[in-house]
Amino acid sequence: MPNSEKLEEMKGKTILTFCAHPDDDAYYCSGTLAILARNGNEVIIVFYTNGNKGSHDLEMTSERLAQIRKKEEEEACSVIGIKPENIIWLGYDDGELEYANPKELCGKATRLIRMYRPDVVISFDPGREFRQWHKTDHSMSAFNTVDAARASAYHLYYPEHLLYEGLKPFMVNDFFFFCSSEPNYEIDVSDVIELKLLSQSKHVSQQGSSHYKYSPTMTEAEQENLKRHIEEAKGKKHIESFRRGGTDY
């Protein structure tokens, strides 16, 4: 079972977040991450893919889009208090995570868990039912993360981590799964809703006109719409929901 300490009240902890794509954090849990960073926790985000396919601009290339999305993610994380050095890129192609070598993929996540020894792991829910958008990447990142958490607890999985790097086994005791069909935990992010919306806005390549003809900045109309959206959001209650699980997930 997970511990009873409230996530939003944790201080001085290590939080390891796994996402499929750059911007998953912005939309699903950036309010929570902003609170955690503000409270003095070490927040690390791992991205399985580099988001290098999500564009309708016919002049865009995968290589260029990967660079753009990395920069956008760094800017989005800066808004919520997460440093660039706390962003880890595993570098898989967008939409193709299911074709990755399973043992290699699990090993990379296992190594990070053993390295950072997190108090909390945040990720997609492996039990989620809704799989319309980027269904394979979201599902694969969810399943791989919990598989890695299981493997990290036993030294005979990926023994080279201990043999060559001195990374000892580690058991994750507290999970928070977003995009869950069975949420059991809510965090009020009303106080940081402006940061959440600003973080989302940094992913320019994924929004509005820039998704079809890339521009590094929003149009004036899009900027005005963002300002209006932020003002309308203030004073209202905003919640991020999770399924909290312990060693039994």
Q: pLDDT digit string (tens) for 12-67?
A: 999 999 999 999 999 999 999 999 999 999 999 999 999 999 999 999 999 999 99
7 domain residue, yes or no: no
3 domain residue, yes or no: no
4 domain residue, yes or no: no
43 domain residue, yes or no: yes
pLDDT recorded at residue 249: 58
Contact by Cβ (8 Å): 18, 46: yes
20 domain residue, yes or no: yes
SS3 186: strand
Give me the mean pLDDT over the 54-83 stretch: 97
pLDDT recorded at residue 3: 72
2 domain residue, yes or no: no
235 domain residue, yes or no: yes
Domain count for the chain, please give it: 1
Q: pLDDT digit string (tens) for 90-119?
A: 999 999 999 999 999 999 999 999 999 999
Over the chain, what is the mean pLDDT?
94
Residue 135 pLDDT class (50, 70, 90 cuts): low
pTM of the predicted protein model: 0.94
pLDDT recorded at residue 138: 87
The helix (run of H) or strand (run of E) holding residue 44 is strand 42-49
* Structural domain boundaries, residue 51: 12-245
Helices within 80-219 (DSSP H only) = 102-116, 135-152, 160-165, 193-201
142 domain residue, yes or no: yes
* Whole-number Å distance between alpha carbons of 46 and 105: 13
Give me the mean pLDDT over the 224-231 stretch: 96
Check which CATH number belongs to the domain holding 107 and give it. 3.40.50.10320
